[in-house]
Amino acid sequence: MKTATASTKGSILGYPRILVAPPGPRAKSIIAKDKEFSSPSYIKEYPLVIAGGKGAMVEDVDGNRYIDWMAGIAVSSTGYQHPVVTKAVVDAAGKFLHICGTDFYYEGFSDLCEALAKSMPGRDKWRVFLSNSGTEAIEGMVKLARQHTKRHGLISFDSSFHGRSYAAMSLTTSKVKYRHDFGPMLDVHHLPFHNPYRNTVEQCVGAAQSLFETKLSPSNVAAVVMETLQGEGGYVMPSKEFLQYWRKFCTDNGILLVFDEVQCGAGRTGKMWAFEHYGVVPDILVTAKGIGAGMPIGAIVAKESVMTWPRGSHGSTYGGNPLACASALATIGLIKEELGENATKMGTRLLAGFKKLQAKHPCIGDVRGLGLFVGVELVKDRKTKEPAHDLMADLEQLAFTKGLLLLGCGKSTIRVAPPLVLTAYDVDKGLEIFDECLTELT
């Protein structure tokens, strides 16, 4: 079998290995049941049926092993079976599963609020609201921003993704399928996000000025909501000037600046928060995904002067569940001790490898990244920069058959967002497979 030979070649750690072309027989039977009973709205990128994993390796139900470069959409930050995280969750499960942090107290809840509040820079004091997911944190953030400012206007950006509830969906513009037929939306004004590969800060600022001159008074705006680094929209890193412009604009106009770091935060870029690379501090930070390393948790972290909503105005039955708090506390400890540093080291190695591949493959238009938040944009032509959507889709599928888990984003970008425990082997072997796939496909 051609793919099996290719993917097992050079494997020194027992992975990647393809024993049977995926989906194998066990995978097929699970997929058949899923197709019969689960909602048709699920995407299911490719037929991966996971049985377990270790570090940055994922094993499927037929014994195939893959290098994971996507971490379940930037979530499994500590990889699979991390002993510290697993122990923290198991220990917590041995004590109690629930009491409701909105109404009562427990140590893990207060400890996590403290850890997140103290992770923020500067002299301000911060407070924390714990939710179950990124979407729920975004939803709560919109309520907080409106309640605090007594204004209703919201600004977000083209190609952004903030989730799928009504407020989050209204902020989201990365793909029309997330909004189609679901209206009416909340009243959100969308402006261009700075994408150094495709537009300029001047163009973005010009569009903002035009909006405020013709359609919207800044005095009606509660919050400007942006992903510090765009995830779903294409792994886009704006310039410092862009973030500085919005910081100043918000300060001058009494508007709250909100950074959504659900995908790019929690150590992924090498620092705890991506905004730390820019020296621009928001009024509210939203986090989820990697902070829980797989346990469902999200958080709104806001300046104390902003988190002024009264008792009972917002809450959640499960938000800050004790198992999720235990996982998040263990994860924050690991990020500080070693994983942030590893993300920087492995991210540098990965970027250097992709730059080499860019010199070899004309279809790689742009390579960009901070730590283990890396985007590889594929184009039909480097001059026109026309997105190569089909190539991205084919690459995802082919890499899967060779033992590398990839995930696309934007129109034609491969997002590389692996577990932060990634090793040099995982980087080099993954790059080898990536190279091999592009050679076959182009």
**Torsion 289-295-300-303 (CA) sign:** negative
Nearer to ligand PLP (CB atom), residue 260 or residue 396: 260
Q: Which residue is nearest to ligand PLP (CB)?
A: 134
Nearer to ligand PLP (CB atom), residue 262 or residue 372: 262
Closest CA to 16 of 3, 27, 2, 25: 3
Q: Where are the beta strands (DSSP E) in 50-151?
A: 50-54, 57-60, 65-68, 126-131
Nearer to ligand PLP (CB atom), residue 6 or residue 188: 188
Supply the minimum distance, in Å, between the C-beta of residue 352 and ligand PLP.
26
Nearer to ligand PLP (CB atom), residue 227 or residue 377: 227
Supply the minimum distance, in Å, between the C-beta of residue 373 and ligand PLP.
11
Nearer to ligand PLP (CB atom), residue 178 or residue 309: 178
Is the CB of residue 48 less than 8 Å from the CB of residue 405? yes
Supply the minimum distance, in Å, between the C-beta of residue 161 and ligand PLP.
5
Is the CB of residue 184 less than 8 Å from the CB of residue 116? no
Supply the minimum distance, in Å, between the C-beta of residue 135 and ligand PLP.
3
d(CA 255, CA 153): 10
Supply the minimum distance, in Å, between the C-beta of residue 201 and ligand PLP.
21
Beta-sheet pairing, 407-409 with 188-191 = unpaired
Supply the minimum distance, in Å, between the C-beta of residue 216 and ligand PLP.
23
Residues interacting with ligand PLP, by CB under 6 A?
A: 73, 133-135, 138, 161-163, 227, 231-232, 260, 262-263, 288-289
Supply the minimum distance, in Å, between the C-beta of residue 131 and ligand PLP.
9
Cross-strand partners of 407: 415
Cross-strand partners of 155: 189, 224
Nearer to ligand PLP (CB atom), residue 260 or residue 283: 260
Residue 432's SS3 state is: helix
d(CA 20, CA 18): 6
Residue 374 has what DSSP assignment?
A: E
d(CA 48, CA 404): 11
Supply the minimum distance, in Å, between the C-beta of residue 138 and ligand PLP.
6
d(CA 355, CA 364): 9
H or E segment at 303?
A: strand 298-303
Nearer to ligand PLP (CB atom), residue 55 or residue 267: 267
Nearer to ligand PLP (CB atom), residue 281 or residue 407: 407
d(CA 72, CA 90): 21
Supply the minimum distance, in Å, between the C-beta of residue 74 and ligand PLP.
7
Residue 257's alpha-carbon distances to 66, 81, 134, in angstroms, are 40, 37, 17
Residue 165's SS3 state is: coil
Supply the minimum distance, in Å, between the C-beta of residue 231 and ligand PLP.
4
Residue-wise DSSP of 250-298 = HHHHTPEEEEE-TTTTTTTTSSSSGGGGTT---SEEEE-GGGTBTB--E
